Amino acid sequence: MSFVSKFWTGAVVAATISLASPALAADYTLSINTALTTSDPLYKGLEAFRDNVAKASNGAMEIKLFPNSQLGADEDVLEQARAGAPVAVIVDGGRLAAFVNEFGVLGAPYLASGYDGIRKVVVSDKFEDWVKKLHDASGHQVLSFNWWQGERHLWTSKEVKVPADLAGNRMRTPGAPVWVETVSAMGAVPTPMPFAEVYSALEQRVIDSVEAQLPAGLGAKLPEVTKVLTKTGHINLITGLVTSGPWFDSLPAELQTMLREEALKAGDIASHGTQDSLAKIEADLVAAGMTVKEIDVTPFKEATAVVYDKLGYGALRQELQAITNN
């Protein structure tokens, strides 16, 4: 029997009659915040999630999307979710490490290559243990964590070949320890700030550079304020759709199951869209005047290897790389 059939039959008939009532629709509304623009391939996955949830719930659940950080910084939305608000955010593991340390390793340098490798980690039984741990520790619920945004590279005004070229360079990065330590190990001066502020900060020379994946960099119009893209691929950016644990727990079990299933499907749609977009985005960057450089990343891999031991991820790195290699 399909999920929808189960949803509308048997012991849940009374509950589903209530869910079908338009008067109660607002009780099952989830607002999703993202720093990404509507042109980002990942946003297409969010649109698919919105539409598929409406269909799978027969209109009982409404998803509202807020691009460009309309609901505030990611950290603020996480706090709203923690307090029980019906909100969700696309967020990296580094920001969740403040609650469950293991999540931080997902943003550690050179952990895995491409989407297929890192996806194995975030659908594993080990990862599901982290999901439960996060729920119990902070009141956050992961819906899925397979939202791949691409590998992060360096956007600078000058050419970069080795870590020494970044000495004194003020580089924007998220404020989570794993990101800060990675940028520092690469030779730059980590400068945390919201991504929405990066364009003006570069324009006003508050910062010298930024590290970001191709879709986000193009969406933020970074070619207008940087000149060189150096393809270090230092972080394989996998992110998750995270909501409120108390709000999620208050839903009927069938809606809980449906939300997680549809989030996983939508994450694949988003991630494959990202994969398919990268070549064109790179061509667009060149057309916009950017110089795109392929370099030997070995010096950066060697320089950032210390991040794992520094943050206590040495043994965990070996476990996860075994998963990605299976």
Dump pLDDT digits (tens) for 281-303.
999 999 999 999 999 999 999 99
Calculate what percentage of the chain has a pLDDT beyond 90.
Answer: 83
Per residue in 57-80, pLDDT tens?
Answer: 999 999 999 999 999 988 999 999
For residue 57, give the nearest of 29, 85, 84, 88 by alpha carbon: 29
**Residue 26 scores a pLDDT above 50:** no
**Residue 119 scores a pLDDT above 80:** yes
Burial 180-214 (b: 16+ CB within 10 A, else e): bbbbbbbbbbbbebbbeebbebbeeeebbbbbbbb
Q: Dihedral angle at the C-alpha atoms of 290, 292, 293, 298, nearest 10 degrees?
A: 110
What number is the average pLDDT over the span 29-57? Answer: 94
Q: What is the pLDDT of residue 15?
A: 36
Task: Compute CA 300 distance to the chain's CA centroid, rounded to the nearest angstrom.
Answer: 23
Instruction: Give the CATH number, domain containing residue 176.
Output: 3.40.190.170
Task: Give ∠ CA 314-91-86 in degrees, rounded to 5.
Answer: 135
pLDDT band of residue 41 (cuts 50, 70, 90) is: confident
Q: What is the pLDDT of residue 172?
A: 98
pLDDT band of residue 18 (cuts 50, 70, 90) is: very low
Q: What is the pLDDT of residue 23?
A: 39
For residue 95, give the nearest of 106, 110, 84 by alpha carbon: 106
47-54 contacts at long range (C-beta below 8 A, 24 or more positions apart): 48/265, 48/266, 48/269, 48/270, 49/241, 49/262, 49/263, 49/265, 49/266, 52/262, 52/265, 52/266, 53/258, 53/259, 53/262
Per residue in 207-262, pLDDT tens?
Answer: 999 999 999 999 999 999 999 999 999 999 999 999 999 999 999 999 999 999 99
Which residues, listed in sequence order, are joined to residue 173 by a DSSP beta bridge? 192
Q: Dihedral angle at the C-alpha atoms of 90, 105, 216, 262, nearest 10 degrees?
A: -40
Q: What is the pLDDT of residue 237?
A: 94
Packed helices 114-122 and 125-138: angle between N→C axes, nearest 10 degrees:
60
Mean pLDDT, the chain, rounded, equals 91
Q: What is the pLDDT of residue 314?
A: 94
Q: What is the pLDDT of residue 260?
A: 98
Query: Which tokens go with 234?
Result: 């230092």
**Residue 140 scores a pLDDT above 60:** yes
**Residue 13 scores a pLDDT above 60:** no
Query: How many domains does the chain divide into?
Result: 1
Q: What is the pLDDT of residue 6?
A: 34
End-to-end CA distance of the chain: 32
129: containing domain: 3-324
> Which residues, 6 or more positions from 179, have their beta carbon under 8 angstroms from its beta carbon?
92, 94, 107, 173, 190, 192, 235
